[in-house]
Amino acid sequence: MPLRWRGLMGMSCSTHSTAAYQSRWLLLALTTIWLATANAMTQVRIAELRQETVAMFYHGFDNYMRVAFPEDELRPVTCVPLTRDSRNPRNVELNDVLGNYSLTLIDSLSTLAILASAPLDTAATGAKALQDFQNGVASLVLQYGDGTSGPSGKGLRGRGFDVDSKVQVFETVIRGVGGLLSAHLFAAGELPITGYTPRRAKGATKHKLQKGEIPGIAWPNGFIYNGQLLRLALDLAQRLLPAFYTATGMPYPRVNLRHGIPFYQNSPLNKDPDSDENVQEGAPEITETCSAGAGSLVLEFTVLSRLTDDPRFEQLAKRAFWAVWNRRSSIGLIGAGVDAENGEWIGPYAGIGAGTDSFFEYALKTHILLSGHDQPNLTVPFKEPHQSWLDPNAIYTPLTEEQNSPEAFLAAWQQAHAAVKRHLYSGIHHPHYVNVHLATGSPQAYWIDSLGAYYPGLLTLAGEVEEAIETNLLYTALWTRYSALPERWSVRDGQVEGGLGWWPGRPEFIESNYHLYRATRDPWYLHVGEMVLEDIKRRCWTPCGWSGLQDVRTGEMSDRMESFFLGETAKYLYLLLDPDHPLNSLDAAYVFTTEGHPLIIPKEKTNPVIKRKRSASKELQPHTGEGPRDTCPVPPPPIPFTISATAARPDIFHAASLIGLHLIQNHHVIEAEPAKLTGRTANTKSQPDIVTNHTYYPWTLPQSLMPVNGTCARLPMKHTFSIEFPVSTPLQTSQGVQSNFIVFGPQGLVRLNEGILVKSLSGLKMGMVFESPSPFRTLDGPLMESWRVWNIANMALGRDEQIFIPRDVIGEMTDPSFTRVRDSVMFDIVLQLESPIGTNSSAPGSVEEFYDSSSDSKQDILEDSSTDLVFEEQISSAGLAAEYKTMLSSLLHHVTSALRDPAATLLPQQPETPQTYPFITLPAIASTGMGAAPIIDVPDAPDPSQPRSESLIWSNIYFAGDGCRTKLPDDAAKKHEIIVMRRGGCTFSEKLSNIPSFTPTTRSLKLVILISGVTDENDKWQEEGWPASSGASLFRPLLDKVQVTPSGLVRHHQICMVMVGGGDELEELFRKTRSIGLRRRYHIESQGLVVGNIIVV
């Protein structure tokens, strides 16, 4: 505690009175409460900002209804309606969204319903909003009918949404279908509106309710609501069904609301692609969709199915979600673009923003929406009587019970977030997310986009509040700098990326601040909301509405008021500033869609809940190393004498530094003290405390919320250095022979499933990064510190990518920055089998298994336009061992053959084919203790991936059983290089004491091999990520006594004892062995620390 507080409170170190002690702590508590009350944003100021938000919404909504309705959107600068671009059908920026069905009104209805619960005020906001909501519903029905097949089903603009508009499936679902469903739930009383109690209309005809119909509700405007919005949502969704006729289960990106998909000639729906109806003029229709577009339909379609008892939509949306998820890469990442026809990823990028954003969102929110609800009954076929009935589900295999369960979606979210945290999350300078390669996790682009600002809010819902707070700080600093969020901003360059500087009024940033405030109640987020509101009012206002910004740097307007500005941005801003809104305290499984529409499955639609166990499906397990969070954490405890835990964070300025706020001129006034009434000072000239740069942010944050003695932590930067190998200098192998790999020159890199194979070090440059704590571990446990290669040949590597370097390429290198170190504990025993076979075989736990990849995906050749690196071939095999079989060994054979006997290639000869014998490799571990001898030093066995005719160094094996009963024969040690024993029966020292003494010769004993039985430890270590051939399940034999002969004398020639695993099956392999060799293991160290991701092979 600062000394000034001790003096203020009269505290003394010599005070021992219990009563005085308690009274002082009571005074401290009261002082803290007083400080919080005095410095937090006042209720009066919150009410002011709430009213300003309501005024902002109505300025846009009233102008839309006056100028643009019933068209889709408003041009606020020129004050005219904005409609589809009929002259340019390929103007997808407009035509994908604008379908000629009064989009802005549909998107705004749920916001009106939320405003209808506003607290009582002089403007009667709540009553006005409820009236406008009901009038808006009536206006929509007047234009498009009530969704029935009778005369009332035809409106002024058509019967339902029977319009000749090619629209994007995703945008139509989230804006159109979702907006109609949410408004219906409010109108029917399923979502709360303060003071609104739906009452059945008097004289309502008692009849059997039709599909999508509810009992009539009388409204003051004379309108009888009986489910018109639900039926219109059904009409719109049915017009999207043709897009789901694909071979993958993912919908085509676009559909014509009247004609379907005649432009997708390969669709199963178009059985006769040669007919005139299916001829596409001009370029073929694009079949590329995105992960978000295909996988983010589950919320809207599930609610629609549950409300109408029509299972088609829920099943289609879930199938599309799983179709995307099941195509994730081997490291758990999903790409941004995907072809709906063939399911292939388009482009290698994986991120959290554009293209993938709402897929993650719907994984978690689908779990929330379905929680507490039973699965629909899918055993009874559902059929409609009319001929126009379409059900794309008929061409697919039905979804499993697992795929329909909420637990499966939760597991998908947990694994997806773990993969994002492992491969996309960067803690350097300040936490943020980069864009990486889909298959390898290697960084590809260092920019963030405004769409990615939703992710902190999603993390908050998932209980990952700390990660949400720290990553949201970056977007707050970015908004502070530009008074908006640019579409894309370069973390590397510190500026707007590629000229993408527009802000169309996106809601994602304020959405995350809303969720964070609900989770923490930190007034910081109220001031962020205040900043957003003031900046929008200052920069986006026009006499006719609110415009987006074409360039956040210049303030140029875009002359478009996107429907989501009223449907989301204004909505989240209002809910942030209305803490007592009924939605903020609704104890039910409701969610906001990605378009900001609240949805819920009504209770009367809920069947009895059947509790199910968490999925045991292997593909839905969380990513290794990241444990899922099952509960939401409590808000962070307040720091003494501070009001905002966020403002007192030690990394608060890290985000500002990364954005460069300290270099930006601040023209705003920062208050020295909070105003007593409004929280703002009217006369800025009387305020001397004007900060010239953005030391504090957001710019609306009063200085009183900043801790007086706040301490900033050091920037989290990592130590790096580079190694550059000399060009064309032949490296010596362990046998003193020059490495043949030098012929490849400086471009000898090959992409494998798990990383990069280095065929030559000549001219190669590696970048190392210091890791503490280290992400790597050895058999003895995790490393405390290590190096990791993060860049090779100017190409960034993924977090889990490895560098494979053949031992002959490295040679006996002992440079302090790059040293090959022999493993003194683990090595491999190589067996040459007696029975010749045509192909190499691998016993359980072989080196081949160790380096084999579990991925079946095709291998990519990486290209980097910024470097001269060219990968010479594409690898189609499954791992490094197969790569050796097909490339390295074959290449060495041809090169060395040509060097040894050049004339052999000039004369036509019929070479004799020698008999070859296959190899297998076994992990072995050395013994320990006072009686342990070091591993015998012999030349390494050759590459075991290729059968050979030559024998290995040892060929005489003696099988001694358990070696415990009696002394072994003298010839066992004199005429056999290897003695094989079974584990058990006596101690390890006793086993050695039964081996007779001998004089070392070339034929005498060199190695004792203990065979351990197969235990459950193998499965345990493999579950922890260790391959069987790593030897992780083996333990070192303990020789707790010095080695002695059978007569009890100290053995002069120590015997090396090692252990292998495999039990009876392995002993049989030894009996079929022709010869035996050793192959030592190595690792690379730099400056005394292990380089964790270099594997010496």
Residues designated as active site: 171, 357, 487, 508
Q: What Cα–Cα distance (Å) separates residue 295 from each residue in 230, 261, 361?
A: 23, 20, 10
If we measure between CA atoms, which residue out of 1003, 938, 955 comes closest to residue 832? Answer: 955
Residues 216 and 131 sit within 8 Å (Cβ to Cβ): no
Please name the helix (run of DSSP H) or strand (run of DSSP E) that holds residue 750, with its range, or none: strand 749-752
Q: Cα separation of 396 and 399, whole Å? A: 9
HSE on the CB side for 985, CA within 13 Å? Answer: 18
- Answer for the pair 198, 109: CB distance below 8 angstroms, yes or no: no
Q: At 176, which amino acid appears?
A: G
Distance CA 135, CA 222 (A): 10
3-state secondary structure of 299: helix
476's tokens: 């707050």
CA angle 560, 565, 568 (to 5 degrees): 160
For the beta carbon of residue 1042, count every other beta carbon within 10 angstroms.
Answer: 13
Query: DSSP for 398-456?
Result: PPPHHHHSHHHHHHHHHHHHHHHHHHTEE-SSS-EE-EEETTT--EEE-EEEGGGGGHH
Q: Identify the H or E element spanning 307.
A: helix 298-308
Q: What is the CA radius of gyration of the chain?
A: 36
With a CB cutoff of 8 Å and minimum separation 6, the contacts of 545 are 59, 60, 63, 64, 67, 74, 76, 79, 561
DSSP characters over 904-951: GGTS---------B-EEEEEEEE-BSTT--PPP--PPPPPTTS-BSS-
Is residue 378 packed enough to be buried (19+ CB in 10 Å), middle (13-18) or exposed (0-12)? Answer: middle
CA angle 637, 642, 646 (to 5 degrees): 65
Instruction: Choose among 520, 434, 424: nearest CA to 799.
Output: 424
- Exposure string (b/e) for 234-272, b if CB count within 10 Å is 16 or more? bbbbbbbbbbbbbebbbbbbbbbbeebbbbbbbbebbee
CA distance 418 to 878: 25
Q: Report the Cα–Cα distance between both ends of the chain, in Å, rounded.
A: 58
Long-range CB contact pairs, 492-495, < 8 A, 24+ = 492/446, 492/447, 494/659, 494/660
CA distance 220 to 1007: 96
Instruction: Pull the structure tokens for residue 170.
Output: 């995703």
CA distance 580 to 586: 10
**What's the CA gap between 1078 and 357, in Å, rounded?**
52
Cα separations (Å) of 61 from 179, 706, 720?
A: 15, 38, 54
Residues whose CB is less than 8 angstroms from the CB of residue 932 and which lie 6 or more positions away in sequence, other chains included? 926, 1037, 1039, 1057
For 863, other C-beta atoms within 10 Å of its C-beta total: 11
Amino acid symbol at 882: A
Q: Please check whether residue 393 is in contact with residue 601, taking contact to mean a CB–CB distance below 8 angstroms.
A: no
- At 516 the three-state DSSP class reads helix
